[in-house]
Amino acid sequence: MFDITDFINTNRDRYVTELKDYLAIPSISALPHHAGDVRRCAEWTADEMRRVGLDNVRLIDTPGNPIVYGEWLKAPGAPTMLFYGHYDVQPVDPLELWESPPFEATVRDGEIYARGSADDKGQVFMHFKAIEAHLKKAGSLPINIKVIIEGEEEVGSKNLDQFIVANKPMLAADVVVISDSAMFDRGVPSICYSLRGLAYFQIDLRGTSSDLHSGVFGGAVANPAMVLAQILAQMKDKGGRIKIPGFYDNVRPLSEEERAQWKTLPFNEKKYRKDLGAPKLAGEKEFTVLERVWARPTFEVNGILSGFTGEGAKTVIPAVAMAKVSMRLVPDQKPDRVAELFEAYVKNVAPKTVEVKVTRMHGGEPWITDYDNPYVQAAGRAIEQGFGRTPVFCREGGSIPVVSTFQRELGIPAVLFGVGLPDENAHAPNERLDLTNFHNGIVASAALYTELGGMKT
């Protein structure tokens, strides 16, 4: 292991230079006109996997973006680790708020700024370099590895889900490892044992066949912007509780033990509020901030569109209004069930004066695991080798839909160790990754393979 860590330390700068090439490809899965870039990024990922020494590397076409697969299976008797990550990234708007161009990675104050740096190319690349270090230095890996990197995580992983269900023998492994989350805080590495799920919708309202003069017709027809606001206002009460009937039916209550454990985490509510620039925090009073974001479901309006929003004033009744809304789900809520409840509630509260259409966009199941297993303990030891500190256990509020699919379909535990930071602006302007965490993450990943290699299958 010393040799390998030495090798990683010696190559520190080269890793950053190479990562910049990866970050230069605008692999935005949400925008159809980037389809060519997404494919080019899949090819770059595959080429890199070949360069680091993986075998049988190939692109697997899907009805959407290609999946990249590779493996190294020459450690007979040793466990097999499935490594999962994603090469697609989120859109970059609003572009004018970026301090350097999103696809020209720039290092400032020990952090690399670019879309995809933390989420998730940087963290995927960290494992590529850990694999490379073993293969270059030792000529072999201490475990068998299957790598699967997808290009549709940011849009719901629908095709990967189907691929997993249809290819279980190909993906068979003892454990799945994922680095696509943040650590608890700077200097506080963590292992994540639960993610929230997601149910995402578009609501479309139509009042009339055309926009109307508000003086000529105002008073006689409904205003869809107003009606939309009234519908949305009925989703939550003042205390932050969601009013959709049945919504909380399957919410697993938090154990007192878990609540007590979270109270020991180094969390400063005042600093949290200040860092976010919020005048006051919101949410359910009976729950702490960590409980609200890790273990409680939410209803969010992602965006609203209707009517005249240009400069000046225009007197008009818009014909249509639209909103994108989503709910974060917690164990044991099911996205399909929640979708039925939501659609029924919208129908119920919407007045007859408008046409309402609800479209299901995407969803993902929440995930939780019992972290008392030897793989998680091995990961804990590896993180200590990379970061000089034992990790804390935490949940995350974000979603990685495919994690519960892996657990359900392959019947294997997942180890989520992410090295991002909560304030690294994933999905926002000026996304970045701390280069010390990136480097320590390579050391920790290389150590993880050694730790897993020492385990019985």
Task: For the CB of residue 230, give the shortest distance to Mn ion in the complex, in Å.
Answer: 32
Tell me which residue of 201, 199, 179, 200 sits closest to 190, measured CA to CA: 179
Q: Binding segment for Mn ion among 1-9, 175-183, 249-257, 296-304 (CB under 5 A)?
A: 175-183
Q: Which of 37, 71, 88, 180 is catalytic?
A: 88
Binding partner of 198, given Mn ion, ligand BES, none, CB within 5-8 angstroms per partner class: ligand BES
Structure tokens at 284: 């359910």
| Shortest spacing between CB 15 and Mn ion, in angstroms | 20
Check if the beta carbon of residue 60 is closer than 8 Å to that of residue 66. Answer: yes
Comparing C-alpha atoms, which of 137, 118, 141, 104 is closest to residue 26? 104
Catalytic annotation on 88? Answer: yes
Q: Is 366 in the site for ligand BES (CB under 6 A)?
A: no
Q: Is residue 120 within the footprint of Mn ion (CB under 5 A)? A: yes
The verdict on 119 binding Mn ion (CB under 5 A) reads yes
398 near ligand BES (CB under 6 A): yes
Please list, in sequence order, all residues whose beta carbon lies within 8 angstroms of the beta carbon of residue 433, skipping any fewer than 6 positions away. Answer: 111, 112, 117, 118, 122, 123, 419, 420, 424
181 to 200: interface string for ligand BES, x by CB under 6 A: xx------------x--x--
CB of 48 to Mn ion, least distance (A): 18
Residues 110-139 interacting with ligand BES (rule: CB under 6 A): 119-120
153 is catalytic: yes
Smallest CA-to-CA distance from 293 within 269, 324, 325 is with: 269
Binding residue for ligand BES, selected from 362, 384, 407, 429, defined by CB under 6 A: 362
H helix runs in 234-287, sequence order: 256-263, 269-276
111: helix, strand or coil: strand
Judged by CB under 6 A, does residue 150 bind ligand BES?
Answer: no
In angstroms, what is the minimal distance from the CB of 158 to ligand BES?
A: 10
In angstroms, the CA 338 to CA 329 distance is 9
The reply to whether 364 sits near ligand BES by the rule CB under 6 A is yes
Q: Which of residues 222-281 bind Mn ion (CB under 5 A)?
A: none
Q: How far apart are CA 210 and CA 224, in angstroms?
A: 12
The string of DSSP letters for 409-441 reads II---EEE---B-TTS-TTSTT-EEEHHHHHHH
Q: Point out which residues bind ligand BES (CB under 6 A).
A: 119-120, 153-154, 156, 180-182, 195, 198, 362, 364, 396, 398-401
Enumerate the active-site residues: 88, 153
